Amino acid sequence: MTTELWYCIAAGSIVAATLLCLTASSIPAIMQQSGYSGEGFLEWYYERGNMILGRHMLLALCLFLLTALFNLCFSFLDVKWANLISLAPFAGMCILFRFSDRRALKVPVKRTGRLMRVCGVYWFLLVAVIFGVCVGFTYGAREITGLANYFRYVIIAAMPFFFPALFALANNIVKIYDVPRNKRFEKRAAKILAESPCIKVGITGSFGKTSVKNMAKAILSEKYKVI
């Protein structure tokens, strides 16, 4: 492959990964609400009747049909031009999906540093996978002749099927950095709390913690100084 083709594939991979990230906007919220548990996240995503899974499958089908159709319609052009033109419906479908998926989340996503790191690694993994697939099919195109050569990059349309697995992998990669870092914070916090003479109150549970905290603060503030 020429240097120019390498650059084109790299640029196309970055654009495709960025567009696909837009279509996976609900996934970070699900991971966050799962407590960054990869198992809990995947269990929820693949739960029977999950609407988000169904929408991503539909997205993959639409991307496949549109890109294949545009490659077929422009097959009278050079393969490179037909492949480039097929990016237009790919981008349009991704943007349309993004704006049609504006649903209200039960718990709004919090843009924490940890979530941003997971999303960054996820985007990088998408770029790497798409780039690898494109390079593989570009080399494989030498053995492909005729009309089939126009559909060598259509396989990228199947990427929505891999959203949950890649996001869970990104979460596990980030844990390599986050887990030791969090332990250092916990150690410092435990030391500071142990040295403090104040009375400590812990509130636990699966939901309602913030409400109970606010009520406890309002009640105790009548007599005590509360932090």
Q: If DSSP states are collapsed to H, E and C, what string results for 42-83?
A: HHHHCCCCCHHHHHHHHHHHHHHHHHHHHHHHCCCCCHHHHH
Angle at 161 between CA 26 and CA 149, to 5 degrees: 130
Q: What is the C-alpha separation between 4 and 175, in angstroms, rounded?
A: 37
| Sole residue written with tokens 């654009």 | 15
pLDDT of residue 187: 92
pTM of the full structure: 0.77
Q: Which two tokens stand for residue 187?
A: 């150690």
Residue pLDDT tens, the chain, 227 long? 577 778 888 888 899 899 988 888 888 888 888 888 888 888 888 887 778 888 889 989 999 998 888 888 887 787 777 878 888 888 888 888 888 866 656 667 788 888 899 999 999 999 999 998 888 877 766 666 666 666 777 888 888 888 889 999 999 999 998 888 888 989 999 999 888 888 888 898 878 888 999 999 999 999 999 98
DSSP sequence for 101-167? --PPPSS-----HHHHHHHHHHHHHHHHHHHHHHHHHHHHGGG--GGGGGGTTGGGGGGGGGHHHHH
pLDDT of residue 102: 63
Q: What is the C-alpha separation between 67 and 151, in angstroms, rounded?
A: 8
Q: Which two tokens stand for residue 63?
A: 């991307």
Residue 3: burial class (beta carbons within 10 Å; 0-12, 13-18, 19+): exposed
Asked if 27 and 105 touch (Cβ cutoff 8 Å), the reply is: no
- Sign of CA pseudo-dihedral 160, 162, 165, 168: negative
pLDDT of residue 140: 67
pLDDT of residue 101: 66
